């Protein structure tokens, strides 16, 4: 009898734990659409969960993996709440916003934020073979003077591995150098490191 | 009703535009990645070519010493043909040579020199595969295998570096990976090299030098195996925490300890020689598993 009560209490404890790990007090999850698939972004519900991936590392060789500044020119830096709000907005039909994972393909393939498109930072460099094609796809128009007009380009939220990774910083700097207005870019500095540490859904 | 239809159409076209944009970007990135995968093949050839120089030399000695000769006479030809195919693929790519010449103006000349050594080496391998007691063929292989190893390493290093991005950050990240891939494959070359050196000692060929080389190879191997696990600043290795890699590394390490114990024995009987060779092959297979896992891991 005593044992049954103990087991019952333990089970109840687990039920109470499940669903308790919210994003904010009011927000449990955000749903994003990828093709015809819905992906629910939420936090890992196991309160005992620990990171064991490479995002549990504290130290990496710098260069290349150096701590990134909070501000890149006048580009607005955002955190997870703002990013999730934007991901929610992106589901609306008329929202012109694009979430860009600026890391190299191997990084991106090992796990990214649902709804993100991989566009490695090096492909936005001036000497990139595909730059014109990429800018064209984004909606930029090249003027007769060789300058690009970014009026029709969606707002881009750019991220990479996070605080210690310059890939997003480089992508942002390249876009600004090409003439992209800074208010068309948002920088999610926390990147995959912060996303993972919060146990948010990774695709 | 009309208004709803118009709104729906605007909404749908906007959705289409967004998914077109996303798939368009993915297509371009895919194309670039396909090219990079081709470049990686060159890197992969480099590691295997390095290992093959020592493999062929070891097999030539095994054939000469009558260890399962008929088997190794076939094996040595397989390795030589693969080496030849990869080498020709590389040196016939004018575009690649031009790229590499930007880094080293004497590159094309160097290739001609290596080609000359290789052709005689290839010929010697074919001779010993037909006549196990061809002393001249064995002598050429023994004398020239290290030069071939160094030359091939030089050629491939140049090719690999000429593929590197002009972007400092990308090149720096690629360097870390290429160092890791280079080092993680190296034990396969070392094991063939040190077994070859042990065979040379047993054959009374240049004993003092070969004993020194053998001792050095053992030290290098010990250091490298530890570095792959725990890291080594000089070798530009950070070690790994990946459990799967660690598990496979411990298998390689165990086999290496057995090879080392046998290799360090003053003299070996036929049974022990056969065991040494068997462990040599086992090690290559085990370490190849480590190489494969390292390539798919992103343990940076």
Backbone φ, ψ for residue B166 (5° rounding): -80, -15
pLDDT of residue B226 exceeding 50: yes
Question: Does a structural domain hold residue A80?
Answer: yes
Q: How far apart are CA B63 and CA A55, in angstroms?
A: 51
Q: How far apart are CA A123 and CA A102, in angstroms?
A: 9
A96-145 per-position pLDDT tens digit:
899 999 999 989 998 999 999 999 999 999 888 899 999 999 999 998 88
Flag if A117 and B25 touch (Cβ within 8 Å). Answer: yes
Put simply, whether B28 touches A (Cβ < 8 Å) is yes
B159 and B48 co-located in one domain: yes
Taking CA atoms, what residue in B is nearest to A111? B298
Question: Does a structural domain hold residue B173?
Answer: no
The CATH code of the domain that includes A116 is 3.40.250.10
How confident is the model at residue B17, as a pLDDT?
Answer: 66
B238-249 per-position pLDDT tens digit:
899 888 999 999
For the full predicted model, state whether its pTM sits above 0.80.
no
Q: Would you list the DSSP string of B249-288?
A: HHHHHHHHHHHHHHHTSS---HHHHHHHHHHHHHHHHHHH
Put simply, whether B35 touches A (Cβ < 8 Å) is no
Indicate the residue of B15, B19, B173 with minimum beta-carbon distance to A64: B173
Structural domains of chain A, count:
1
pLDDT of residue B2 exceeding 60: no
- The Cα of B173 is separated from the nearest Cα of chain A by a number of Å equal to 6
- Show the tokens assigned to B209: 């030098």
Question: Does a structural domain hold residue B193?
Answer: yes
The 3-state DSSP class for residue B232 equals strand
Question: Does a structural domain hold residue A135?
Answer: yes
Question: Does a structural domain hold residue B220?
Answer: yes
B139 and B222 co-located in one domain: no
Put simply, whether B5 touches A (Cβ < 8 Å) is no
Q: Alpha carbon A180 to chain centroid distance?
A: 20
B300 and B201 co-located in one domain: yes
**End-to-end C-alpha distance for chain B, whole angstroms:** 57
B136 and B210 co-located in one domain: no
Put simply, whether A166 touches B (Cβ < 8 Å) is yes
Question: Does a structural domain hold residue B36?
Answer: no
B48 and B105 co-located in one domain: yes
B66-120 per-position pLDDT tens digit:
888 899 999 999 999 999 998 888 777 777 777 778 778 888 888 888 999 999 9
Write down which residue in B163, B178, B202 finishes a domain: B163
B220 and B149 co-located in one domain: no
Q: Would you list the DSSP string of chain A?
A: -HHHHHHHHHHHHHHHHTT---SSSS---EEEEETTEEEEE-B---TT----SGGG-----TTTS-PPPS-BTTBEEE-HHHHHHHHHHHTSTT--EEEEE-S-HHHHHT---TT-EE--GGGGSTT-TTHHHHHHHHT-EE-TTS-EE-TTSPEEEEE-S-TT--HHHHHHHHHHHTT--GGGEEEETTHHHHHHHTTB---
Range of the domain at A14: 2-197
B191 and B298 co-located in one domain: yes
Range of the domain at B299: 187-300
Flag if A63 and B238 touch (Cβ within 8 Å). Answer: no
CB B236 within 8 A of CB B174: no
CA atoms A114, A118, A120, A126: torsion sign: negative
Put simply, whether A172 touches B (Cβ < 8 Å) is no
CA atoms A93, A95, A97, A99: torsion sign: negative
B249 and B213 co-located in one domain: yes
Question: Does a structural domain hold residue B22?
Answer: no
CB A157 within 8 A of CB A188: yes
Identify which of A43-52, A68-77, A105-114 has the greatest average pLDDT: A68-77
Q: How far apart are CA B224 and CA B229, in angstroms?
A: 9
CB A174 within 8 A of CB A102: no
How confident is the model at residue A14, as a pLDDT?
Answer: 46
Kindly report the average pLDDT of chain A as a whole number. 89
Per the document, the length of chain B is 300
CB B210 within 8 A of CB B201: yes
Q: With a CB-CB cutoff of 8 Å, which residues 122-161 of chain A face chain B?
A: 122-123, 125, 127, 130, 133-134, 137-139, 154
Structural domains of chain B, count:
2
Question: Does a structural domain hold residue A49?
Answer: yes
Question: Does a structural domain hold residue B139?
Answer: yes
Indicate the residue of B36, B170, B298 with minimum beta-carbon distance to A54: B298
pLDDT of residue B1 exceeding 80: no
The position carrying tokens 């095994």 is: B62
ipTM score assigned to the predicted complex: 0.78
Question: Does a structural domain hold residue B105?
Answer: yes
Q: With a CB-CB cutoff of 8 Å, which residues 90-149 of chain B face chain A?
A: none
Question: Does a structural domain hold residue A76?
Answer: yes
Flag if B28 and A134 touch (Cβ within 8 Å). Answer: yes
- The Cα of B5 is separated from the nearest Cα of chain A by a number of Å equal to 14
Question: Does a structural domain hold residue B4?
Answer: no
Question: Does a structural domain hold residue A202?
Answer: no
B207 and B131 co-located in one domain: no
């Amino acid at each position: 009898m005593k044992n049954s009560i103990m087991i019952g209490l333990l089970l109840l404890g687990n039920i109470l734990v499940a669903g308790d790990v919210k994003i904010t007090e009011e927000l449990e999850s955000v749903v994003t659409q990828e093709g015809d698939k819905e992906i629910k972004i939420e936090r890992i519900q196991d309160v005992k969960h620990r990171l064991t991936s490479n995002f549990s590392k504290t130290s990496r060789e710098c260069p290349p993996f150096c701590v990134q500044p909070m501000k890149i020119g006048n580009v607005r830096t955002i955190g997870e709440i703002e990013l999730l709000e934007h991901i929610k907005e992106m589901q609306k039909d008329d929202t012109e916003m694009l979430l860009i994972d600026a890391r190299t393909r191997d990084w991106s393939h090992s796990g990214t934020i649902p709804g993100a498109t991989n566009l490695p930072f090096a492909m936005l460099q001036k000497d990139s073979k595909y730059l014109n094609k990429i800018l064209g796809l984004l909606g930029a128009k090249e003027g007769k003077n060789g300058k690009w007009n970014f009026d029709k380009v969606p707002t881009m939220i750019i991220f990479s591995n996070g605080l210690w990774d310059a890939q997003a910083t480089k992508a942002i700097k390249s876009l600004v150098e090409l003439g992209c207005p800074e208010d068309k870019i948002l920088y999610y500095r926390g990147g995959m490191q912060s996303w993972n540490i919060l146990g948010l859904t990774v695709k | 009703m009309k208004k709803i239809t118009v709104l729906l159409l605007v909404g749908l076209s906007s959705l289409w535009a967004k998914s077109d944009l996303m798939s368009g970007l993915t297509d371009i990135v895919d194309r670039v990645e396909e090219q990079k995968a081709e470049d990686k093949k060159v890197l992969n050839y480099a590691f295997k070519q390095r290992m093959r120089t020592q493999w062929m030399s070891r097999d030539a000695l095994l054939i000469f010493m009558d260890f399962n000769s008929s088997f190794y006479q076939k094996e040595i030809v397989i390795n030589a043909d693969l080496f030849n195919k990869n080498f020709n693929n590389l040196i016939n790519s004018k575009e690649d040579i031009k790229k590499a010449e930007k880094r080293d103006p004497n590159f094309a000349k160097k290739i001609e020199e290596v080609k000359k050594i290789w052709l005689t080496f290839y010929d010697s391998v074919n001779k010993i595969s037909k006549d196990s007691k061809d002393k001249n063929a064995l002598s050429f292989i023994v004398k020239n295998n290290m030069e071939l190893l160094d030359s091939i390493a030089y050629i491939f290093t140049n090719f690999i570096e000429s593929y590197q991005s002009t972007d400092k950050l990308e090149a720096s990240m690629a360097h870390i990976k290429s160092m890791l891939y280079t080092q993680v494959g190296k034990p396969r070359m070392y094991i063939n090299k040190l077994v070859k050196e042990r065979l040379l000692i047993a054959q009374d060929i240049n004993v003092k030098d070969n004993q020194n080389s053998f001792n050095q190879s053992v030290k290098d191997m010990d250091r490298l195996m530890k570095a792959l696990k725990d890291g080594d600043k000089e070798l530009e290795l950070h070690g790994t925490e990946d459990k799967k890699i660690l598990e496979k590394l411990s298998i390689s390490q165990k086999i290496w300890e057995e090879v080392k114990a046998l290799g360090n024995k003053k003299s070996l009987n036929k049974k022990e020689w056969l065991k040494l060779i068997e462990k040599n092959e086992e090690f290559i297979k085990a370490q190849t598993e480590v190489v494969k896992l390292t390539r798919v891991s992103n343990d940076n």
